[in-house]
Amino acid sequence: MKQPTPLADALLAYEEKNVVPFDVPGHKRGKGCEKLNAIFGERLGSLDVNSMKCLDYVNHPVSVIKESENLLAELYGSKEAFFLVNGTTSGVQAMILSVCQPGEKIIMPRNAHKSAMNGLILSGAIPLYIAPDYDEEMGISLNITLEQIREIVEMEGGIKAVFLINPTYFGIASELKAIVDYCHERDIVVLVDEAHGAHLNFSDELPMSAMAAGADMSAISLHKTGGSMTQSSALLFNSNLIHHDAVRQAINLTQTTSASYILMTSLDLARAELAENGKEHFERMLDLSRWARTEINKIDGLYAYGEEKLNGKSFYAFDETKLVINPSGLHMSGFELYECLRDTYKIQMELGEIFTVLAIISLGDTKENLQKLIDALKDISENNPCRFLSGTCEEIPMFGEQILSPRDAFYAKKEVVLLDESIGRIAGESIMIYPPGIPILALGEVITKEVIDYICYIKKKEVSFASSYDETLESIKVVTTKKYVEKLR
């Protein structure tokens, strides 16, 4: 059935009126910047308008944005939905800010994205990290389990929230429903990062979505797998434990007052497309991914895991639209395969890590494109044109003890020391490669030799480290505030 698109309709109706603009944006429907028009075409400028009564306001929507948000909520089975124009990052942070006051405890997987870690700085919440199991064969972290959560809840008490990733970048999902039920019996709020799960709603063969499991909130990257434009995401709200006003307030703390109508309209249109054809799209995506996985597993030296990895706990469910390929059998690292595919075959993967490369299969993918990937992988396996043969490092290090809250570490005094000299001290910055944006070293953790060795190994791969103080990563910031340093003794 054809779906309504209230925001897109309002925007087109406004464009039609040919109103004389004495408001911002200052390019005045593109006329002020020929260079914009030359690349993007006049249409983009004419649709890039500011908030006004007939187009509604993102910070307190009452008409067309609200209608479109309501349609999104209906599609995902939530009570409310909030549009976001600063990616899922702002949704993750708004979820944490609206639930946790400074000093309140939140359980979180240690392989959470930096947006969640930064949410801890903003809110002052205290993370109780869980180290997920590690799959040696694939070289990836799995997800956290109900047992691990239960253990912390029973040991610590006073837990405000549990933060989950559904699924991880590598498609691995936890036993979400059981975790939600367990937490709700104890009035613990469940927040879900669904940056990689905006499509879960559209097939019973995908892991259960956060809203279907009854979670309180979920931040979904519609721009990643839902078809909308980069940066456009949504926060889904379904809580009986938290008031929606707290969520609105938290969103408005950081969300712009000049949200892009191009981005918001893309949410309106992507939602309509998903409502009309989402099930067919993702059935096709699943068929394509399964076929590609089977073909890749016929190639010497490569392994793309599938449902054979399910273990009922830390790998409870698998999102098969994530095609994760391990090239260790070719004596290549994932970084090298990633580079080789891009530079030699013009194939851009989502990410390369030590042991894996990842392809995300989504709405716009075709069998032809997947065939190109399969052909390139066959060629690499047979001929290794990139001459990479570095092998991989032994293993991923255990992270150090979280001795300071991320917020305390953020505001602490710091000095810069050489990497070797930082061992045994408290991290004054987080170190990560992006993507995936998961800290190798997190703010406030004790720095271990294993972590430094691992950073040195990765440095040799010439990957760029996101947001580290020293771009060359010869040195690192450590905490010097006396009262914190004394905690080390």
Ligand X SMILES: Cc1ncc(COP(=O)(O)O)c(C=O)c1O
Query: What residue ranges bind ligand X (CB under 6 A)?
Result: 87-89, 92, 113, 115, 165, 169, 193, 195-196, 221, 233, 435-437
Residue with the CB atom nearest ligand X in the bound state: 87
Distance in Å, CB of 222 to ligand X, minimum: 9
Per-position b or e across 63-74, b if 16+ CB within 10 A of its CB = ebbbbbbebbbe
The residue ranges of DSSP E strands in 374-418, in sequence order, are 414-418
> In angstroms, what CA-CA distances link 482 with 249, 365, 417, 443, 486?
36, 55, 17, 17, 6
CB atoms within 10 A of CB 401: 13
Of all helices (H) and strands (E), which one includes residue 97? Answer: helix 87-99
Distance in Å, CB of 360 to ligand X, minimum: 11
Tell me if 358 sits within 8 A of 321, measured CB to CB.
no
Q: Give whichever of 45 and 226 is closer to ligand X, judged by the CB atom.
A: 226
Instruction: Summarize the chain as % helix, strand, coil (round to 5).
Output: 45, 15, 40
Q: Give whichever of 64 and 195 is closer to ligand X, judged by the CB atom.
A: 195
Distance in Å, CB of 92 to ligand X, minimum: 6
Which has the closest alpha carbon to 21: 42, 52, 44, 43?
Answer: 52
Tell me if 325 sits within 8 A of 304, measured CB to CB.
yes
CB atoms within 10 A of CB 317: 22
Q: Give whichever of 29 and 223 is closer to ligand X, judged by the CB atom.
A: 223
For residue 415, what are the β-bridge partners?
478
> In angstroms, what CA-CA distances link 391 with 328, 329, 336, 430?
7, 9, 9, 27
Distance in Å, CB of 437 to ligand X, minimum: 6
Tell me if 437 sits within 8 A of 221, measured CB to CB.
no
Q: Give whichever of 225 and 328 is closer to ligand X, judged by the CB atom.
A: 225
Q: Give whichever of 166 and 265 is closer to ligand X, judged by the CB atom.
A: 166
Q: Give whichever of 355 and 388 is closer to ligand X, judged by the CB atom.
A: 355
Distance in Å, CB of 140 to ligand X, minimum: 13
415 Cβ contact partners less than 8 Å away, ≥ 6 residues apart? 428, 477, 478, 480
Q: Give whichever of 92 and 235 is closer to ligand X, judged by the CB atom.
A: 92
Q: Give whichever of 85 and 476 is closer to ligand X, judged by the CB atom.
A: 85
Distance in Å, CB of 406 to ligand X, minimum: 16
Distance in Å, CB of 419 to ligand X, minimum: 26
Distance in Å, CB of 176 to ligand X, minimum: 15
Q: Give whichever of 46 and 221 is closer to ligand X, judged by the CB atom.
A: 221
Tell me if 304 sits within 8 A of 323, measured CB to CB.
yes
**Tokens representing 58?**
């993102």
Distance in Å, CB of 193 to ligand X, minimum: 5
